[in-house]
C-alpha cells in the first residue's frame, strides 16, 4: 500500500516560483504529506505531490464534484449557483477599471471552467465565452446541461495549436492556479493565447487572510493532495511577472458572497470569538459527522479569503525546450 502511494507522488527539489532549493516545513499531515515554505520568496507548496496523471483521474470523476461523504462545503458543485453570482461580481468590478469599446466583440476563455458558472455569468453580460477543463465529467455536464462551448484539454494543450494564439481578449483563471503542477508554465501558455495587452483575471485563496492566520494547518484551502500551491499577494505577483503579465488592480474578496450588513457582522463576531473553541470540539467528532459541521467552524467567509488580481499581458513568452522526462 505504501509503495503504491509513493509511486503516485513526486518530490520537487526546488521552489516552482523562484527555483530556490532552500525551504522549511510549515505544516505536516498524515502519510508524510507536508506543506513547505520557500525561504527565498515565501511561496508555499505541497511536497510530495500527486503526479498529474493521478490528479487528472481525480478531477475527471463525478465523485470530485458530487461527494457528500467527503466535504460538506463542496458536496454538490453543480448546485452551487452562488458561484455564478461571485463571477458576475468579478466581471462588474473588472469593467469598472476597463471600459469596453461600444460594439466591440470581446472573446473570453475560462481556464479550468468546471461546469461553466463563469461562462454563464459572462454570457449573461453579453460576451462570447468558451472554456477548457481537464475534467471529462465537468465538460460533459457543461455541454449537456447548458450547451456551452467547452473543450476537454489543458491550457498547455490549447497553446500548442496555432489557431488559438493571440485569440482571446480576456482569460479567466478562477480558483485554478493552486491546483496546477507548474503555475508558471501554465501562465506562459495562457499568455500565448491572449492578444497583445489582453487581460488575465486570476483568483486564488489568500494565505495572508484572517482565516489562514487564525486556523493555521486547519485552514480550509490547505489540502496537500489537491491544492499544490499557496499564494500571498506578493508571491502571486512575482509568479505573474515571470509569466509576462503586469498587475492593474489587486482586490480581496470572500470566496462566496455574503449578502446583508447584519449577516456579515454577525458572521464576523461569531467566528472571531467562538470558531477556535468549536474547532477543537469538531475535530474530535466522528469523521462523517465532522464534515457536516466543518463549514460553519473552519470555514468563516471573511472579506479577504481570496486574492483577485486583474493583470495585463505585457509581452509574448518564448518557451524554452523542455527536457524529456
Q: What is the pLDDT of residue 28?
A: 94
What DSSP line would sit under 189-209, residue for residue? HHHHHEEEEEEEEEEEEBTTS
**This prediction's pTM:** 0.83
Q: What is the pLDDT of residue 259?
A: 46
Calculate ∠ Cα 69-34-53, nearest 5°: 65
Q: What is the pLDDT of residue 142?
A: 97
Q: What is the pLDDT of residue 5?
A: 54
Matching residue, cell 496537500? 224
CB 243 within 8 A of CB 191: yes
Q: What is the pLDDT of residue 219?
A: 83
| E strands, the chain, in order | 9-10, 23-29, 33-38, 44-47, 49-50, 107-111, 128-133, 150-152, 168-174, 194-205, 229-230, 245-253, 306-313
Q: What is the pLDDT of residue 217?
A: 85
CB 268 within 8 A of CB 301: no
The per-residue pLDDT string of the chain (325 residues; one tens digit each, 9 = 90 and over) reads 344 555 889 999 999 999 999 999 999 999 899 999 999 999 999 999 999 999 999 999 988 998 755 543 445 788 777 788 889 989 988 988 888 765 578 999 999 999 999 999 999 988 999 999 999 999 999 999 999 999 999 999 999 999 999 999 999 999 999 999 999 999 999 999 999 999 999 999 999 987 788 778 888 889 999 999 999 999 999 999 999 999 999 998 875 554 444 444 555 555 555 555 555 554 455 544 544 444 444 444 456 789 999 999 986 655 444 443 3
Domains of the chain: 2-313 (3.40.50.150)
Q: What is the pLDDT of residue 72?
A: 38
Q: What is the pLDDT of residue 240?
A: 97
CB 80 within 8 A of CB 115: no
What DSSP line would sit under 217-268, residue for residue? GG-TT--TTT--EEB-HHHHHHHHHHTTEEEEEEEEE-SS---SHHHHHHHH
Amino acid at each position: 500500500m505504501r509503495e503504491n502511494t509513493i509511486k503516485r507522488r513526486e518530490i520537487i527539489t526546488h521552489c516552482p516560483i523562484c527555483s530556490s532549493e532552500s525551504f522549511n516545513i510549515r505544516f505536516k499531515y498524515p502519510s508524510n504529506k507536508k506543506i513547505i515554505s520557500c525561504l527565498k520568496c515565501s511561496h508555499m507548496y505541497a511536497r510530495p505531490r500527486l503526479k498529474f496523471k493521478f490528479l487528472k483521474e481525480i478531477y475527471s470523476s463525478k465523485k470530485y464534484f458530487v461527494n457528500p461523504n467527503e466535504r460538506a462545503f463542496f458536496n454538490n458543485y453543480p448546485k452551487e449557483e452562488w458561484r455564478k453570482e461571485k463571477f458576475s461580481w468579478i466581471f462588474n468590478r473588472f469593467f469598472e477599471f476597463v471600459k469596453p469599446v461600444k460594439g466591440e466583440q470581446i472573446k473570453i476563455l475560462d481556464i479550468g471552467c468546471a461546469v461553466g458558472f463563469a461562462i454563464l455569468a459572462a454570457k449573461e453580460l453579453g460576451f462570447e465565452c468558451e472554456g477548457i477543463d481537464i475534467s471529462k465529467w465537468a465538460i460533459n455536464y457543461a455541454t449537456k446541461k447548458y450547451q456551452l462551448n467547452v473543450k476537454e484539454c489543458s491550457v498547455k494543450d490549447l497553446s500548442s495549436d496555432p489557431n488559438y494564439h493571440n485569440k482571446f481578449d480576456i482569460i479567466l483563471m478562477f480558483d485554478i492556479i493552486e491546483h496546477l503542477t507548474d503555475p508558471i508554465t501554465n501562465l506562459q501558455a495562457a499568455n500565448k493565447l491572449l492578444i497583445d495587452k489582453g487581460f488575465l483575471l486570476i483568483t486564488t485563496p489568500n494565505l495572508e487572510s484572517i482565516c489562514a492566520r487564525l486556523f493555521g494547518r486547519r485552514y480550509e484551502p490547505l489540502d496537500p493532495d489537491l491544492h499544490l500551491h499557496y499564494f500571498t499577494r506578493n508571491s502571486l505577483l512575482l509568479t505573474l511577472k515571470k509569466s509576462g503579465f503586469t498587475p492593474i488592480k489587486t482586490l480581496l474578496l470572500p470566496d462566496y458572497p455574503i449578502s446583508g450588513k447584519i449577516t456579515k457582522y454577525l458572521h464576523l463576531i461569531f467566528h472571531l470569538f467562538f470558531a477556535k473553541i468549536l474547532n477543537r470540539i469538531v475535530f474530535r467528532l466522528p469523521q462523517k459527522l465532522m464534515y457536516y459541521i466543518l463549514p460553519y467552524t473552519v470555514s468563516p467567509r471573511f472579506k479577504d479569503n481570496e486574492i483577485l488580481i486583474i493583470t495585463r499581458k505585457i509581452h509574448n513568452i518564448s518557451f524554452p525546450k523542455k527536457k524529456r522526462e
